[in-house]
Amino acid sequence: MTAPGPNINGEVPTVLVRDDEGRDLLCFLEQLIPLDDKDYALLTPVDTPVSLFRLSEGNDPELIETIASSEPILSVADVVLQEHDLTLVRSAVTLTVNGELDEPDPEELEDEETDDDSETYELLVSFMVQEQEYGLYIPLDPFFVVARMTDGQAKLVEGEEFDQVQPRIEVELEDREL
């Protein structure tokens, strides 16, 4: 099967992917990759993915990898984003932001001196919670999600299955580029 790409109307198909906790993430279908009689989908979120970092003066931002969707920090982030007409969505796989975001100026990004973390992220908003500063950052690298397609439904590929298929998907994508 080949890449779906835009349809006749120029629209890229969308797929709703679900994780084990029942959370959904609406994604664009970028590629379909058949492996072992299963179809795997390479997806990109429709809304803008964001990452939460703990900020402290003099130190690099610290990525918070797991956070409960009921965490008070996210409630404060909700309020701050609403001031910018944005909405924080507690999606499958990642937090996302819904709303109109300003596109980063590529020249501005090239001119900035960057650390390892700031090379791959751009600060969207920062805020304080109980005397601790946090920031929501937008990844500058493409954010891909892998799902297994079964009867038109997308199931998030996680854990061991992801570890097994991810290198094979990368090889398949490299072969397609040649």
For the chain, the domains span 14-45+142-173, 48-139
Specify the pLDDT at position 43: 93
pTM for the full model?
0.77
Residue 136, pLDDT above cutoff 90:
yes
List Cα–Cα distances, 32 to 38, 73, 106, 128, in angstroms.
10, 37, 30, 42
Q: What's the pLDDT score for residue 44?
A: 93
Name residue 40's beta-bridge partners: 33, 148
Please tell me which residue, 105 or 32, carries the higher pLDDT value.
32
pLDDT category of residue 11 using cuts at 50, 70 and 90: confident
Amino acid at 169: I
Strand partners, 63: 53
pLDDT at 86 over 90: yes
DSSP 46: S
Q: DSSP H helical segments within the chain, as ranges?
A: 72-82, 106-111, 116-120, 159-177
- Measured CA to CA, the distance from residue 48 to residue 121 in angstroms comes to 12
Q: Is the pLDDT of residue 74 over 60?
A: yes
Q: Which of 4-13, 25-34, 43-52, 122-131 has the lowest mean pLDDT?
A: 4-13
User: Residue for token digits 């596109």?
Assistant: 103
CB-CB neighbours of 119 under 10 Å: 13
Long-range pairs of 154-158 with CB within 8 A, sequence gap ≥ 24: 154/15, 154/16, 154/17, 154/18, 154/27, 154/41, 154/43, 155/17, 155/18, 156/17, 156/18, 156/19, 156/20, 156/25, 156/92, 156/93, 157/40, 158/19, 158/20
Find out whether 48 and 140 touch, Cβ atoms under 8 Å: no
Name the band, by pLDDT with cuts 50, 70 and 90, for residue 1. Answer: very low
